[in-house]
Structure 1
Amino acid sequence: QRHRWLCGYVISVCLPVPSRMDDKVEGSKPVEVKPAARVQWAPIKIPLYRRLQTLGALTWISIFLFLGPATILFFAVLLITEYYFISWLYLAYLVYDWNTPVSGGRRNEWIRSWSVWRWFRDYFPITMIKTAELPADNNYIFVCHPHGVLPAAAFACLSTNALDFYGTFPGLKPFLLTLRENYYVPGFREIFMASGATAATSDNIDSLLSRQGKGNVLGLIVGGAQEALNTREDEIELILKNRKGFIKKALVHGAHLVPVFTFGENEIYTQIPNPKGSWLRTIQDSFQHYFGLAPVLFLGRGVFQYNFGILPKRKYLYFVVGEPIQVEVNPNPTHEDVDLLHAEYTKQLMELYENNKMKYSRNPNIPLIIT
């Protein structure tokens, strides 16, 4: 009996892997586990489509966590083999391609249309809700909230064709804008740019909103890394009060602002407790200050059990696209102009949340806090 318990414990620790309802399907029952093991195993009899959905989620998180380090390791190993020249060729390519992420990026519709993204969409599942028409003769800034640990819905809706963005918003082309530092990472930068993502630099935003014509949609997750550190399942804290750069860009280029809120985004991972002032939060804030990236420590579920791991939990995600705020071109906006539009945007965002929380939130009593 002791040996069986020990084997079960060792296996559970070694497997990457939490939500208790994740793989329950009609006609199946969760595997009963002895209390001593404390591991809830996924059912053995799960339809193929559910396995494919899990593969889709695993692909997504693996790209974010492992593709960069794996690529670096691969080319480092090649340096000590007879194929070392491949590493030097890739390095030369990086130098040549260094500014592509700040020049509009390089999307690949074939990669955006991979079947794995549809499996990823259905894993949660993710739904995109359109609340208003967006004419293609304007440019738009989709201001997305909240960031979450990793913005799953924004990626699926803006960086893949799984949600049929082109069909939902005819004539519009989406770009997900992220930190410039993301494009320093070999391997990851290629797949990320191919998905339509590009760098959130001032010059790049100017290029997308002016020199590349109309019909562009810039997806900005303005809360950024700092907001990721505030991710909680029982509250939604948005970093917005002092984020006004996107307001100024909208005024300068006459890009219409569109508030976007994803219900469920904060629930797909559980963040290790890091209250402000704790030693963990101090380290995270310092790292984020110097490197721009937030070292978020989180728990999800695993491939074969539900207690821990890197996979997100299966939670319904609703990517609700609000009504556009009309913005007139103002080449030299004053502080008052920026503050006025920022206040209007904040008001529209709050209304979007209040008007939709009863339909799409698992807990409509969760407070929306703007800091």
Structure 2
Amino acid sequence: MAATAKSTSFYPEYRPHGRAHSPLVIPTHRRVETFAALIHCSSMLLLPCLYFFLWTREAFWPFLITYTIFSYILDDTQSMGNSIYRTSSWFKKQFIFRKFVDYFPRFLDKEEKIGPRYLFTAHPHGVISFGITAALLPSHTLKSSKSFRSLFPGISVHLLTLPTQFLIPFYRDYIMALGVGLVTKAGITSILRRNHSVAIVVGGAHESLFARPGMNRIVLNRRKGFIKLADVAIVPVYVYGENNVHKVYNTTEQPNGKNSKTLKTFLNLQLLLKKYTGFTLPLVNSRSIFNYDFGLLPYKRRMDVITGKPIYIYRMFNNSIGDKVTEEEINYYHEMYKANLIELWEKNKSFATEWDEKLKIVE
């Protein structure tokens, strides 16, 4: 059961077999899973590096010029919802992604059977939202009990992300091949109109600053935009253990109440970056390939992805379909959503560790 009184500072260190360094002899499948996690986590850096490296080779210039013009001037795939046609089942079935999914021991469960057109809203954000990503990643052709699609047959779900992700050369094509779309109103509605479902991480970049082991703090009170999509059902999703796979230095709270100018300055920089780019950079230290106490790779800890009961949205307070969504309706369903999310947490809190604090809506 989840602890309610223990401080998250007591969360145990990640020391498999009591070691700080990875042993030389380790099962091959573990090494391969770690390598797959490394490749996927580094893709945002490796792929643009490859793009700029190819510019140093004249033979690739015709391809690069064509690619650049098409990607940044002509291509409106993600904004028009056409990213669903760029999804590649063949690509998602590749060995590297199967092993990345297996890197996190996981259990996936649902509370109720649902249909083909829903808005899945995941919590918490974590540093990179590995839980919901790995749950949606396997193609429907895989025979995996860890696959979202194996539990929800017939439902095609696309994870949505920030527009800035689609500005990164080669990486934009990489994530679209994995079924990722654009998390804007136009991007969401265009996919829903095609009878596909979407998944978003509601807390956003600001919530990543709370991604510390043992923490279950989410940003929700001021996140109401997803409620405005009044013609779909909303399905809350909670990923137990999402915040436990990275060690994030907390800049949002001062230790022992001390007024640290350094922490305040860094927090202001993080918030400034979030304001102008949509994302921020938490201070992360986790593990690497050869040691367990320093690096940027996520810890190999269990994550449990639990989907709740759908909240069906109907027009209320004498409003009809086609009328503008009112603040009264938004607040009504937002309160209902918060109540359902808390109920989901309480009902399934056995998936939390004994070191995890209770779910808290902090903002």
For this structure pair, what is the TM-score category when the shorter chain's length is used for normalisation? 0.7 to 0.9
Q: Give ranges in structure 2 of 5+ residues lacking alignment.
A: 1-12, 254-262, 316-320
Q: What secondary structure, in the 3-state scheme, does the structure 2 residue paired with 1:102 have?
A: coil
The match for 2:359 among 354, 365, 368 is 368
Question: Once superposed, what is the RMSD of the aligned Cα atoms?
Answer: 1.9
Cα deviation code 1:121-178 (max 9, x no counterpart): 2212132212210123xx1110000000110011111233363333211111011011
Percentage identity across paired residues of the two chains: 30
- Counterpart check, 1:229 vs 2:229: no
- Counterpart check, 1:41 vs 2:32: no
The match for 2:174 among 191, 195, 218 is 191
Alpha-carbon contact 2:54-2:60 (below 8 Å) kept = no
Q: How does 1:161-176 map to 2 (within 5 A)?
A: 161=139, 163-176=146-159
Q: CA deviation at 1:60?
A: 1.8
Q: What secondary structure, in the 3-state scheme, does the structure 2 residue paired with 1:278 have?
A: helix
Q: How does 1:34-183 map to 2 (within 5 A)?
A: 40-64=20-44, 66-78=45-57, 81-95=58-72, 98-104=75-81, 105=83, 106-136=86-116, 139-161=117-139, 163-183=146-166
Q: What secondary structure, in the 3-state scheme, does the structure 1 residue paired with 2:21 have?
A: coil
Cα deviation code 1:188-236 (max 9, x no counterpart): 10110000000011112121222x1x3x221010111111122222322
Q: What secondary structure, in the 3-state scheme, does the structure 2 residue paired with 1:262 have?
A: strand
- Structure 2 equivalent of residue 20 of structure 1: 15
- Counterpart check, 1:295 vs 2:281: yes
Q: How does 1:311-322 map to 2 (within 5 A)?
A: 311-322=297-308
* Structure 2 CA distance for partners of 1:324 and 1:82, relative to 1, 3 Å: closer
> 2:67 & 2:78 partners in 1: Cα distance?
17
Q: TM (normalized to structure 1)?
A: 0.83
* Structure 2 CA distance for partners of 1:234 and 1:188, relative to 1, 3 Å: same
Q: CA deviation at 1:364?
A: 6.4
> 2:326 & 2:60 partners in 1: Cα distance?
57
Q: What secondary structure, in the 3-state scheme, does the structure 2 residue paired with 1:121 have?
A: helix
Q: CA deviation at 1:97?
A: 5.1
Q: CA deviation at 1:96?
A: 5.5
Runs of 4+ in 1 over 6 A off after TM superposition: none
> 1:362 & 1:208 partners in 2: Cα distance?
36
Q: CA deviation at 1:98?
A: 2.9
> 1:97 & 1:324 partners in 2: Cα distance?
38
Alpha-carbon contact 2:216-2:356 (below 8 Å) kept = no
AA aligned to 2:72 is V
Q: TM (normalized to structure 2)?
A: 0.85
Q: CA deviation at 1:41?
A: 1.7
Q: Give ranges in structure 1 of 5+ residues lacking alignment.
A: 1-17, 25-29, 32-39
- Structure 1 equivalent of residue 233 of structure 2: 256
